[in-house]
Structure 1
Amino acid sequence: MSGNPQITRRAFAAGLALAGLGGKGALAQGFAGLGMSGEGFAPVTPGKIFSFPEDHGPHPEFRIEWWYVTANLTDTSGAAYGAQWTLFRQAMRPGAQQEGWANQQVWMAHAAVTRGDTHRASEKFARGGIGQAGVEAKPFLAWIDAWEMRGIEPMRDDMIAPLELKASGADFVYALRLDADHALVLQGAAGYSKKSDRGQASYYFSQPFFKASGRIVIDDKPVGVSGQAWMDREWSSQPLASDQTGWDWFSLHFASGEKLMLFRLRQTDSNHYASGNWILPDGKTEQIASADIHMTPKTSVEVAGRQIPVDWDIAIPRLKLSIASVPLNAKSWMGTSFPYWEGPISFGGSHSGVGYLEMTGY
């Protein structure tokens, strides 16, 4: 993601430079310079033993980190909605944590709601060290201003549930409760998620088993909603190689109860790096190698002056899986400081279900 100001999501990097928090150097690097050397920051290495609730909290010795929730929802009439809540942390420089305004941590957050006929998004920025934003591991709380993801009793650290989630923008509000009955899922090799064959990686775990319920308000019109949600937690100091220009990422809820996480990191030589995790209804997982994943962009639409591939074919022959996905709203454009496409999708074929798609770098 380095050097490309269109790449955000888990790579939220240069947005804070626009807010006056990073300066020209950060902007030139694409916010956190995700494809550049992580020298001075903590490295990501295999063999980490995850510990909860500690790993629900921040890891300031690493350069970048995020707490990311997406929800596929319906109202009582069956109409589909999507909701997104994201908090990003970036360390502007390595070293001991400073106090107050001298603190080197900066925060950015995105929230969005999507319906078939509209997509609404909002963005916030904060400086670390002054209490405006942050994350506490126990009792769990992630916040920026009035946006919150808060643990409620009886909180299960191994599930990071139940949670209350709330955010608002100029023309939308949502408040959701997230419950789970399965433990967290480690992505990659026991939480060590490779992003290239050259050593780039992150620590990565998910809660794909959230059941969501609550309310969305769009243009002052409230509606009760329920459905499924997915949370990703990821941190790193150098997650991408310098020749990777963006990614295409899926989180899928199958009607039969399975879950699937897939991503494809696009490389300038077209030898894209892919990875996946097939998650059974009981929480057991099966890693899927890059060579076994076929992700093919199909129909593109013009969004914000760019051609965005919103329809995809996905095949994993080893799992006898062949599906085609379509967006709820093809215009699900996050017009944030460094924009990207993210929105709810549905899919059919050998399997059916719903999920979320994110595309950066287009």
Structure 2
Amino acid sequence: MNAKILAILVLLPFAVGAQGFSGLGTDADGFATPEPDAAFSFPADHGPHPDYRIEWWYLTANLEDADGTPYGLQWTLFRSALAPGEAEGWRSPQVWFAHAAVTTPEQHFVTERFARGGIGQAGVRADPFRAWIDEWALEGPDFDALSLRATSTDFGYDMALRAQGPLVFHGKDGYSVKSAQGQASYYYSQPFYKISGTLDLPQGPVEVSGTAWLDREWSSQPLSDDQTGWDWFSLSFESGAKMMGFQLRQTDGTGYSSSTWIDADGTSTAYDDGVFSAVPLSSSSVAGRDVPTQWRVRHAAQGVDVTVEALNTGAWMDLSIPYWEGPVTVTGTHKGRGYLEMTGYE
């Protein structure tokens, strides 16, 4: 059985619900679960946590070339466990898969990789930091200075990242609640990267620079069984402030939200359910489904009332587990740019 088929079988529990993500609410018997008042330890926590069922290293970037043309970039390494713990060789219960994408105003390129843990094909090392699958790699002497490489048949990139601010912890000191029932994850970000390098596109290489945001999250049952998907926003404003906000959609039509406000100096404030809201303004037909690609986003505590609009409405991740992910522009009370991820749209 090849690694791709095995990985898809591992993810079948997650694929029962809408577009492969609502299954994250299935029971996680035997796995560790996040608890409040966690004590993070770095650099160790930049590495993997094999006793938890699902984990990711998730990078998005807003870029421009010398002419001011905007681009978006994504690189994500996921770890999914058949059982808690680690073992050598093919006895390892860990499965790895990765997504890479580049979005332009007219095009969206995307590809994926799969690997089995324990054989060296993929993994994460905390110190010095290295996250890899085959020749794709996010690595550096530490989490503040990284290089990023990924290639495919029709696109690729080679980038350098430098952190300009501190790590940000979401929820209560990194304990991020996802539902009224109390499901949660450990969740922190490095939203202050400056990034530059080369995009390799069909029309040729393009030199770009901009800002990047890296999310780190791990859990075993991050959703409740009545949640069908999420809308996640990472927004960077011209003032230097930033905002992360997400809403989890529920089968009864209600939702659960959480958000973090990040000042330009890195000081952050977390907000519970109800302060952040996102309402679709218009949708686009994408891959045969209606997907909201323009939103009214508000944050009651910070006076935010903005329109968030996709740079390219066709940024559909047509992968084994499909979803929408792409760069966005922000106008209204605050101006800026960012990234939007949406799951659970059929």
TM-score tier by shorter-chain length is over 0.9
User: Are 2:31 and 1:41 aligned?
Assistant: yes
Instruction: Provide the residue aligned with 1:342 in structure 2.
Output: 325
Instruction: Provide the residue aligned with 1:51 in structure 2.
Output: 41
Relative distance call for 1:44 and 1:17 in structure 2 (3 A) is farther
Shift of 1:19: 2.4
User: Deviations for 1:35-55, whole angstroms, at most 9, x for unmatched residues?
Assistant: 111110011100111111000
Shift of 1:294: 2.1
User: Are 2:14 and 1:19 aligned?
Assistant: no
In structure 2, runs of 5+ residues without a counterpart are: none
Structure 2 counterparts to residues 102-181 of structure 1, below 5 A: 102-152=91-141, 155=142, 160-181=143-164
Shift of 1:318: 2.4
- Contact 1:17–1:26 (CA under 8 A) maintained in structure 2: no
Structure 2 counterparts to residues 143-292 of structure 1, below 5 A: 143-152=132-141, 155=142, 160-219=143-202, 221-292=204-275
Structure 2 counterparts to residues 298-313 of structure 1, below 5 A: 298-313=281-296
User: Are 2:87 and 1:71 aligned?
Assistant: no
Shift of 1:289: 2.5
User: Are 2:47 and 1:62 aligned?
Assistant: no
Shift of 1:99: 1.7
In structure 1, runs of 5+ residues without a counterpart are: 1-15
- Contact 1:18–1:27 (CA under 8 A) maintained in structure 2: no
Instruction: Provide the residue aligned with 2:78 in structure 1.
Output: 88
- Contact 1:17–1:23 (CA under 8 A) maintained in structure 2: no
Cα distance in structure 2, aligned partners of 1:22 and 1:231: 24
- Give the letter aligned to residue 78 of structure 1: G
TM, length-normalised to structure 2: 0.95
Instruction: Provide the residue aligned with 1:9 in structure 2.
Output: none
Shift of 1:291: 1.6
- Give the letter aligned to residue 258 of structure 1: A
- Contact 2:91–2:118 (CA under 8 A) maintained in structure 1: yes
- Give the letter aligned to residue 272 of structure 2: A
Report how many residues are paired: 340
Relative distance call for 1:138 and 1:305 in structure 2 (3 A) is same
Shift of 1:29: 4.5
SS in 2 for 1:170: coil
Shift of 1:23: 7.2
- Contact 1:18–1:337 (CA under 8 A) maintained in structure 2: no
- Give the letter aligned to residue 61 of structure 1: D
Relative distance call for 1:132 and 1:25 in structure 2 (3 A) is closer
Cα distance in structure 2, aligned partners of 1:342 and 1:204: 19
- Contact 2:63–2:210 (CA under 8 A) maintained in structure 1: yes
More off after superposition, 290-299 vs 115-124: 290-299
Instruction: Provide the residue aligned with 1:331 in structure 2.
Output: 314
**Deviating runs (4+, > 6 A) in structure 1?**
none
- Contact 1:116–1:329 (CA under 8 A) maintained in structure 2: yes
SS in 1 for 2:25: coil
Cα distance in structure 1, aligned partners of 2:49 and 2:198: 32
Cα distance in structure 1, aligned partners of 2:10 and 2:116: 18
Instruction: Provide the residue aligned with 1:353 in structure 2.
Output: 336
- Contact 1:263–1:274 (CA under 8 A) maintained in structure 2: yes
Cα distance in structure 2, aligned partners of 1:112 and 1:167: 9
TM, length-normalised to structure 1: 0.91
SS in 2 for 1:20: helix
Cα distance in structure 1, aligned partners of 2:28 and 2:76: 23
Cα distance in structure 1, aligned partners of 2:2 and 2:329: 35
Shift of 1:103: 0.8
- Contact 1:187–1:193 (CA under 8 A) maintained in structure 2: yes
Cα distance in structure 2, aligned partners of 1:234 and 1:130: 24
- Contact 2:7–2:97 (CA under 8 A) maintained in structure 1: no
